[in-house]
Structure 1
């Protein structure tokens, strides 16, 4: 891989690299294609900075086997990366989502290890790294996102040591005892250590990563700082940033690995919640549900990490025991489609729909269903109306990097009402301590917490929601992106502040 930023036709000071582009292709009735912004919060957070810093976004366009020329969508410069159908099967559906995803989520499902998947993962990561190297200006900031692209930082550093490279892992990083199962564990660590700053959702995730570095590479760590030895025989060794010496006098490059908990565009959710038509829609939703005394809501991708089955089990048992009445309490479960070409996900959908059917068959009536199950996605406006309509929000994830749904619910509740039941295995639980925290594996405990949420007095609901809203409104997605880019900028000047408590050595 070679790249010369001085001869590039277009060179950019900020390069964002992610598996998917921030735009979706839309084909109208006449067959003409156009691009519209994706609804993700990451786009909203980074778009202003990309405009001000002359940025470009690199990613896959969502269409297999099609070469798409660079283009501009709105105010964002776009550089598509082509993926073949085989790439999708082996790099994305295979290694990313049937190897890394279950492994990083505490092996809730069994990971699959296939050498051909790994080989394709390496090849595709190289393709993304090539694209970034070609368009990055001298000394540019390159911010790589998520588990699909963990090899890109080192691949970039190999040919462009002038770049300031950041990586953010949106999902958990597992404890060493789990991570060590990965046959390519050292290669992934090497790939990530190509970055100057590595961001994680939780302090525990950053600690897991540093521990893996010590066990697998033997490198020294000082709190969030990792000392990566430099090969002095490498011609590019003099180009490395923030070079220092270790306690033995050897040259090392320092890498910052710490938590940067992601958030949402809280103001946008507040503004939507204030719109009269959305408030009217919230009232209409309750009417369509038969005006129950309590509406409980679950909003998830249909994924085995989300604990949907645990939630349904607890709710079904409460109905069976007569502690909840299906005429008085309704559970709305939104389960948006996810990775439907992966067999594990197809099986999960069958299991969830069978459970919903059993609960409704046992406790529903002609005019009322106990569980309103919705297997499709909704626009943001409809989601805000659902949040406003829900008295209790159930987030029962078995493992989640953050879970932004919890924060969306809190930001939407401008009435300072509603109760958030939140799994302690989500990153959000580190911040949202005034939620009712639960262990979703403890079905009896989950049942008791659901009853507590349903019966909570208005005064207690308001007190808790006010505290939750202060946290979400203060730590929004703009603050998240600014803090990460600030750490990267400081890294460019060799400044690695120890902003987290030291990670214990073991």
Structure 2
């Protein structure tokens, strides 16, 4: 036990990337990602401790502090841990299951054993670094068992858990052979947070259906209290466990650190537009290269609009940034192949020498580079088949506070609940994507007042419900949770 750490975040990854060099030395650099973006300001404020995996197998640095004073406590994973826990159970079992079976989950007993063992490793690390009575905030689907294990190890801790991906309907979740253990693990927390009210309601319904989840008695949940748009200010729902503990359940839509956004350099924006050939319309997609993100479908929509003449290849370009992701998993390799084949085909059909119509980058970009892309884009396309929230949509909106631009957004992204000024589409229907792309371009060109009003509605939501509101709401509810146990 470390008496200095009264606030601890535990997540699968540390907020850094660690690279091991051939001579055995290593280098560490800040890592991108929605979770890091959301939690870093909170930890800096509390000067807390972050427990997580540094991204390398069999080796990890000693605990160290970042420049902003956050203590990073690495957890060592072996190659077998990584394969079974991360690539296996986390991303080939839970990820597709929680994203409504876009691909078929694999239920593998050895992966499940690895998942249990690694969750125990994380819980042990948290137990070691946490002060007596500390607040511990467990993050995401890779660590679903940690709250329950921690509850047994350290009953003095105040434990919160937040799920950053969707929570599926009970009918889907009950496919999981280890469903009771997962639910019991989650119920080790004092407060469970989800992005959307629907996700929270799915979990509440599940606890009533899976009898073993909370022992012999599961309390009748109260109605979720919702105020301030989609934000739950007070947890009005709970599950009562067999030992009489009340576990709060609520919806807390994550957001971004709007204060961290700086306006993109005007000269860089101008330079990029010139490089692109000064098109009338710039479409933009920024995603991990993941089969849930609907990248191929938006490319097909763009291709068909070029084919029909609705878009002129001399006047419209598509920029797609596809960050590498889980490239050893078969479904991800297939997705990359399909996307890159489509990019080549579209450019072969509609581009010309020195003037591709699709500009494709398969790498990570810095925040500054992304802000230039956001500023250049006229229409942002965020078309996932299923997404917990999607912070890219909010980042684009934050960069267009003046009301410029338009957002075409999947109705199955969590952000669709909040960004009501977006042009909502059905990502499973290419015709729907096409209609909303055309509608966005039409409004920008012929009905600018309407387009501006829609974007200002979006930006006001993002700026009034930023990451600080998310974190403060959750932590306030966590402080109050369990008091009636």
Same fold? TM cut 0.5: yes
1:191 aligns with 2:181: no
Q: Which moved more, 1:420-429 or 1:54-63?
A: 54-63
Rounded Cα–Cα distance in structure 1 between residues aligned with 2:317 and 2:50: 43
| Contact persistence 2:47–2:70 (CA under 8 A) | no
Q: Which moved more, 1:118-127 or 1:440-449?
A: 440-449
Rounded Cα–Cα distance in structure 2 between residues aligned with 1:210 and 1:414: 37
Match of 2:124 in 1: 130
Q: Which moved more, 1:402-411 or 1:16-25?
A: 16-25
Residue 62 of structure 2: which of 69, 72, 79 is its match? 69
Match of 1:24 in 2: 17
- Pick closer, same or farther for the CA change 1:9–1:467 going to 2, 3 Å: closer
Rounded Cα–Cα distance in structure 2 between residues aligned with 1:491 and 1:449: 43
Match of 1:406 in 2: 393
Query: What secondary structure does 2:49 align onto?
Result: strand
1:215 aligns with 2:219: no
Q: Which moved more, 1:18-27 or 1:405-414?
A: 18-27
Matches within 5 A, 1:301-316: 301-316=288-303
Query: What secondary structure does 1:297 align onto?
Result: strand
Give the Å deviation of 1:443: 1.7
Match of 2:146 in 1: 152
Match of 1:349 in 2: 336
Give the Å deviation of 1:43: 4.1
1:477 aligns with 2:467: yes
Give the Å deviation of 1:365: 1.4
| Contact persistence 1:19–1:60 (CA under 8 A) | yes
Rounded Cα–Cα distance in structure 2 between residues aligned with 1:49 and 1:445: 39
Give the Å deviation of 1:133: 1.2
1:384 aligns with 2:371: yes
Query: What secondary structure does 1:138 align onto?
Result: coil
Matches within 5 A, 1:103-182: 103-182=97-176
Residue 241 of structure 2: which of 213, 229, 244 is its match? 229
Rounded Cα–Cα distance in structure 1 between residues aligned with 2:370 and 2:297: 23
Rounded Cα–Cα distance in structure 1 between residues aligned with 2:128 and 2:242: 25
| Contact persistence 1:36–1:73 (CA under 8 A) | no
Match of 1:95 in 2: 89
| Contact persistence 2:290–2:335 (CA under 8 A) | yes
Q: Which moved more, 1:177-186 or 1:362-371?
A: 362-371
Match of 1:333 in 2: 320
Query: How many residue pairs end up in the alignment?
Result: 463
RMSD of equivalent CA atoms: 1.9
Rounded Cα–Cα distance in structure 1 between residues aligned with 2:4 and 2:129: 5
Query: What secondary structure does 2:380 align onto?
Result: strand
Q: Which moved more, 1:463-472 or 1:215-224?
A: 215-224
Match of 1:490 in 2: 480
1:442 aligns with 2:429: yes
Match of 1:371 in 2: 358
Query: What secondary structure does 2:469 align onto?
Result: helix
| Contact persistence 1:41–1:265 (CA under 8 A) | no
Q: Which moved more, 1:219-228 or 1:382-391?
A: 219-228
Residue 248 of structure 2: which of 227, 243, 256 is its match? 256
| Contact persistence 2:42–2:471 (CA under 8 A) | no
- Pick closer, same or farther for the CA change 1:287–1:384 going to 2, 3 Å: same
Structure 1: runs of 5 or more not aligned = 1-7, 232-251, 496-506
- Pick closer, same or farther for the CA change 1:281–1:25 going to 2, 3 Å: same
1:377-424 CA deviation, whole Å, 9 max, x = no partner?
110101000011001001111000001110000001143200000111
Rounded Cα–Cα distance in structure 1 between residues aligned with 2:253 and 2:267: 33
Query: What secondary structure does 1:267 align onto?
Result: helix
Match of 1:500 in 2: none
Give the Å deviation of 1:287: 1.1
Match of 2:234 in 1: none
Query: What secondary structure does 1:214 align onto?
Result: helix
Query: What secondary structure does 1:415 align onto?
Result: coil
Rounded Cα–Cα distance in structure 2 between residues aligned with 1:175 and 1:353: 33
- Pick closer, same or farther for the CA change 1:363–1:56 going to 2, 3 Å: same
Matches within 5 A, 1:27-66: 32-40=25-33, 42-43=35-36, 45-47=38-40, 49-51=42-44, 53=46, 55-66=48-59
1:7-52 CA deviation, whole Å, 9 max, x = no partner?
x355421111000012223568997534333334544554454455
Query: What secondary structure does 2:481 align onto?
Result: helix
1:335-373 CA deviation, whole Å, 9 max, x = no partner?
111101111111111111111111111111123212111
- Pick closer, same or farther for the CA change 1:94–1:287 going to 2, 3 Å: same
Give the Å deviation of 1:136: 1.4
1:481-501 CA deviation, whole Å, 9 max, x = no partner?
111111111126449xxxxxx
Rounded Cα–Cα distance in structure 2 between residues aligned with 1:492 and 1:44: 29
Structure 2: runs of 5 or more not aligned = 212-216, 225-236
Match of 1:464 in 2: 454
Q: Which moved more, 1:214-223 or 1:74-83?
A: 214-223
